[in-house]
Amino acid sequence: MNTTFFQGKDKAFTILLCMGIFYVLALPLILFNINYGRAFDDQKLFHYPTILHFIQSLDFSDYPSATTPGYHVLLGFVGQLFSSNEIILKLTSSAFTAALIGIIVERLYSHFGKLHSILLSLPMILSIYIFPSGVWLLPDNLAWLTVLGVFIIATKSELLNKHFLYLAFILILAMMVRQPFLWLASTIWASALAYYSYNTAELSDRGSFLLKGVLATLPAFAIFYYFYVLWGGLVPPSFQNSHQNISLATPAFFLSVFAFYSLFFLPVMYGTIRDVISSSKFKWVMFGCVIGFIIAVIPDTSYSKELGRYSGLWNFVKIAPTIADKSTFIMLLSSLGGGLFVLFCTVLPPRIRLIFALSTIAFVFSLMPNKYVFERYMSGYIFIFIYCTLCHIKLKNNPLPAVVAWSGPVIFAAFNGLVLVRSMLA
């Protein structure tokens, strides 16, 4: 009996099932053109008008979105070839979310099998920051799809010339969808550096990877520079007075969101956590907690609509006590997040650990030149990081009963589902 054939069918079924869960929830909202909430407001004010703009003209000098125009141009071509009808465009855009879900489930299945890969993916599928971007016309999930693509290629055990070409293309697409996603160049550099540092090949052969890593990122930087000159700034002229600011609260908030998300996946990792606690690696986890606390103590982290610190996890900050504009809630979660981030990194092989550590630092820095510190700007990255890390844990050394070990993702999915439903009824 050909077991590989049946395993392949089982994987395909699991992927299609998870994509189907998304579409069962999304299609009624798309086909009946039901519009509500923050995601629809962004579509109505920014992204749909920009798509219509590019259906009429490929004028990049100014348009009604603060992002680079890649997503809107892609849908503009769909509008030119088929129809500019909102439902047609939404159906096309939803494919990016389905692809994101499908690829993540495929990676999880290879490590966890059918049932557990479904349970792990549900919190992301039901996330208020992932699901709405699959229903309404938002570029978010296409951007996260490029992040996932870069990570998958950059962490391959062997990097060939064709892989650097793929990375160059995906980086261009990422930067064209959202200009801050030029931070992904750091992932390519880190991948080349890690290959140089941990590969046993001749020094001259390893050195060539550093050059290839730099060359792969140059086209994206050239295009970024083109838009910078065209706009006279980092965003189109219409938005140059709305987003500009530096938020020092971003790193602490990132660690806080990471802590909140990762807590639900800790039971799955219990065996790994136990091993880390009993090893010399645990001192680094404690060091991460200290760094997380310091990061949270320095900036103001109180709830403030005027300063762009509201919505999402900030709603918990709103009801927690503050000390001199420092949120005690953020201090606690950021400290925990620093330790948990180090804990997750210890699971990864050294080469991949270096790639993710440097990428995360670059990602957080890319978020800081923005007045708004929103969970939705970082949610997709955190899900991707967690899922990529989970694919490296050892499954056989978890002493917890299965119902306990897998309760975390189920509770997280239920929580996200309730928040999603509440947002629809609000």
Percentage of residues in the chain having pLDDT higher than 90? 88
Of the listed ranges 214-228, 286-300, 338-352, 390-404, the one predicted with least confidence: 390-404
Average pLDDT of the chain is 94
Which amino acid belongs to residue 17? L
- 156 CB-near residues (< 8 Å, 6+ apart): 163
Q: By C-alpha distance, which of 146, 108, 149, 132 is closest to 18?
A: 108
- Which H or E run contains 205? helix 203-231
Could you give the CA distance from residue 374 to residue 296 in angstroms, rounded to a whole number? 16
Query: How many CB atoms neighbour CB 113 within 10 A?
Result: 15
Q: Is the predicted pLDDT of residue 40 greater than 60, yes or no?
A: yes
For the segment 275-304, the average pLDDT, to the nearest whole number, is: 96
Tens-place pLDDT, residues 127-139: 999 999 999 999 9
Determine the pLDDT at residue 1: 45
**Residues 98, 90 contacting (CB under 8 angstroms):** no
**Residues 146, 381 contacting (CB under 8 angstroms):** no
323 three-state secondary structure:
strand
Determine the pLDDT at residue 224: 98
Could you give the CA distance from residue 281 to residue 235 in angstroms, rounded to a whole number? 43
Instruction: Say what the pTM is.
Output: 0.96
Of the listed ranges 121-125, 163-167, 420-424, the one predicted with least confidence: 420-424
Determine the pLDDT at residue 208: 85
Of the listed ranges 198-207, 331-340, 357-366, the one predicted with least confidence: 198-207
Could you give the CA distance from residue 272 to residue 267 in angstroms, rounded to a whole number? 10
Could you give the CA distance from residue 138 to residue 53 in angstroms, rounded to a whole number? 15
- 107 CB-near residues (< 8 Å, 6+ apart): 152, 387, 388, 391
Which has the higher per-residue pLDDT, 196 or 292?
292
Tens-place pLDDT, residues 231-252: 999 999 999 887 678 999 999 9
Of the listed ranges 9-23, 65-79, 199-213, 330-344, the one predicted with least confidence: 199-213
Q: Is the predicted pLDDT of residue 399 greater than 90, yes or no?
A: no
Q: Is the predicted pLDDT of residue 267 greater than 80, yes or no?
A: yes
Determine the pLDDT at residue 209: 85
For the segment 215-220, the average pLDDT, to the nearest whole number, is: 98
Determine the pLDDT at residue 201: 64
Which has the higher per-residue pLDDT, 150 or 204?
150
pLDDT band at 346 (very low <50, low <70, confident <90, very high): very high
pLDDT band at 7 (very low <50, low <70, confident <90, very high): low
For the segment 54-81, the average pLDDT, to the nearest whole number, is: 97
Determine the pLDDT at residue 241: 81
CB environment 57-86: b (16+ within 10 A), e (fewer)? eeebeebbbbbbbbbbbbbbebbeeeebeb
322 three-state secondary structure:
strand
Determine the pLDDT at residue 426: 67
Of the listed ranges 69-83, 325-339, 389-403, the one predicted with least confidence: 389-403
Q: Is the predicted pLDDT of residue 202 greater than 80, yes or no?
A: no
Encoded tokens for 318: 């709103």
Percentage of residues in the chain having pLDDT higher than 70? 96
